[in-house]
Amino acid sequence: MKVYYSKEITPESLQKIYDALGVKLEGKIGVKVSTGEAGSKGYLKADLIGPFVKSLNGTIIECNTAYPGERNKAEDHLKVAKDHGFTGFADVDIMDAEGEDLKIPVKNGKHLKYDLVGKNFANYDAIINLAHGKGHAMGGFGANLKNQSIGIASRKGKAYIHSCGKTESPKLCWVSKHEQIDFIESMAEAATAVADYLKEQGKPIVYITVMNNLSLDCDCDSKQGDPVMKDLGIVASLDPVANDQAFIDLIWASKDPGAKELKERIDTRLGREILPYAESLGLGSTKYELVEI
């Protein structure tokens, strides 16, 4: 599987790396990005992704959060999206705005029996998983797999993944007991369920990760810290496992002194374990060819 790589992070390089994938997405296109919690600073900015999303007439798609904050209700979430510039270049669809879910099966899961995604996810003909690569307090790192699992899950779906299949309650999920590896594997199972659903519906999906503002914490953290290492570029693929593996490999190959902190964050949360498990589920491959453009 090919992973395309651009060292430049510009609107032009984002368009170029998408074009390199050789897939022409048509119809109603959903672009899954994190709108970023109020107070965060690492989310993908309008001046970078706006021209690309507009060129495809894409709709920004999101779901409400399970944790208390400024994005756990649709009205507040839309305000944050506006404040962060997303409504200036595209429509924003909070897919579980009415509290409704689309239940899709998880095949061969050890932890999840199903996945709950925002109801409106069914309305899209094609998906762009446009992730911001960074660290994460719970998952170790966030890129395409997290964006496809936690990100596309509805509020109740997020609770179900975080509790490793024990509860759909956003209140109870944070006190459920489970091993860290169970959570990592639950994310992989949810991401695979989304890919399986799209394949069965005949709907294409492409994967792009922008590796800038590489902080230890996620864009969902209102107190997100400053970047700990220099920007790495953009990777894109038709395989989410390969794309996340390339992101990890670029961090591990970096000679940036700050990379040590990010590696520690990832490994103390067993973050890299999501990759072989997702591969075992058939989501993609950890082996790839890196093609620089």
The whole-number pLDDT of residue 83 equals 96
The answer to whether position 195 is within a domain reads no
The answer to whether position 8 is within a domain reads yes
The answer to whether position 144 is within a domain reads yes
Q: How many structural domains is the chain composed of?
A: 1
The whole-number pLDDT of residue 87 equals 97
Which domain, by its residues, includes 78?
2-100+119-149+203-292
pTM for the structure as a whole: 0.97
The whole-number pLDDT of residue 68 equals 85
Write b or e for each residue in 13-51: b if 16 or more Cβ atoms lie within 10 A of its Cβ, otherwise e: bbebbbebbeeebeeebbbbbbbbbeebbbbbbbebbbe
34-75 pLDDT per residue, tens: 999 998 989 999 999 999 999 999 999 999 999 888 898 899
Nearest 5 degrees, angle CA 73-CA 184-CA 110?
105
Within the chain, which residues score under 70 in pLDDT? none
The whole-number pLDDT of residue 205 equals 98
The whole-number pLDDT of residue 256 equals 97
The answer to whether position 92 is within a domain reads yes
Cα–Cα distance between 26 and 39 in angstroms, integer? 35
